[in-house]
Structure 1
Amino acid sequence: MASLTDSHFALFDLPQTFAVDPQQLDSAYRTVQAQVHPDRFAAAGDAQRRLAMQWATRTNEAYQTLRDPLKRARYMLSLRGIDVGAENNTAMEPAFLMQQMEWRENIEDAAGAKNIGALEALLDELREEERVRFTKLEALLDSNSDQAASEAVRQLMFIERVATEIGAQIERLEHA
């Protein structure tokens, strides 16, 4: 078994690539979880129970990271020493900044008009944009274009936030 300090990929014996087979990840997670689940160590001493809890926590965190493409991309970049810096690095290409402004205006207009259909169409547009950008991100990560991948991650984080806002607007309008 891997050590507590090994990468998430090593923990599940997976190749360190952006493309992760979900079934393979799920299977590896269940295998590791079965080995380290705290219930297996209920009769063990305190030290073994604590260690089992650490392993179970580590396993869950690794699984949650690898199953989410955006978290997986951030994690892969962190393994390469790249801090996405989403909290303090908001510099993005001008075309994307213009697209952000357009999306925001469209959300505001649709929400003001209480047009759920327009919000749903915008959400569909964002999901398609996200799909295309994840494909590009995979190519960037696989070619070790880390700085470009870092910017792509920041852009995807923004798209995810906007999609969440649209979802909240739709829910608010549906329950108004």
Structure 2
Amino acid sequence: MHKGTVISVSKSSSHSFSKHSSASITLLKGIGVDGDAHAGVTVKHRSRVAQNPHQPNLRQVHLIHQELFYDLQDRYHIEPGELGENITTSGIDLLSLPTDTLLHIGDSAIIQVTGLRNPCQQINDFQSGLMQAVLDHDEQGNLIRKAGIMGIVLEGGTVQNGDRIIAELPSLPHRPLEKV
């Protein structure tokens, strides 16, 4: 069983790159983070809205592992929420989870993992060179995206710092995470 902890929660009512840390956030079933610009049944990310505003929002909640910040600390200073994530985690390898993993957070919230965040140019605008730092390649030359995962809210609830995270893996065969 995969377990972790919520380190920080963040949201922003505007489409700014970074989000503001909060004491807690409220997840709304089928919508996302209450008061966040990316909440909604249909896609809210501006580039995706331009392509097709009617596509389902598979990016209602963005999670990043705090361990990424540690890996980058010799070149970059990053605080929770600054890369646009809603939930900063610790102790759970988010990137290794398969698609459709259920993340049980706090007393009642459940997020279904939909895929990997695909970092865009805004990450370089935040700190020059950061985009390359959150991308890597495996032994076969396949691109590895390290900028977190995305999910949809299956069950709402309040999420706050210190909440436990328990990952419930889907039935086999597992599907690896792909960009969403």
**Fold match by TM threshold 0.5:** no
> Could you tell me the TM-score, scaled by structure 2's length?
0.26
**Which one has a bigger Cα radius of gyration?**
1
Greater helix proportion: 1
Greater relative contact order (Cα 8 A, min sep 6): structure 1 or 2? 2
> Could you tell me the TM-score, scaled by structure 1's length?
0.26
Greater strand proportion: 2
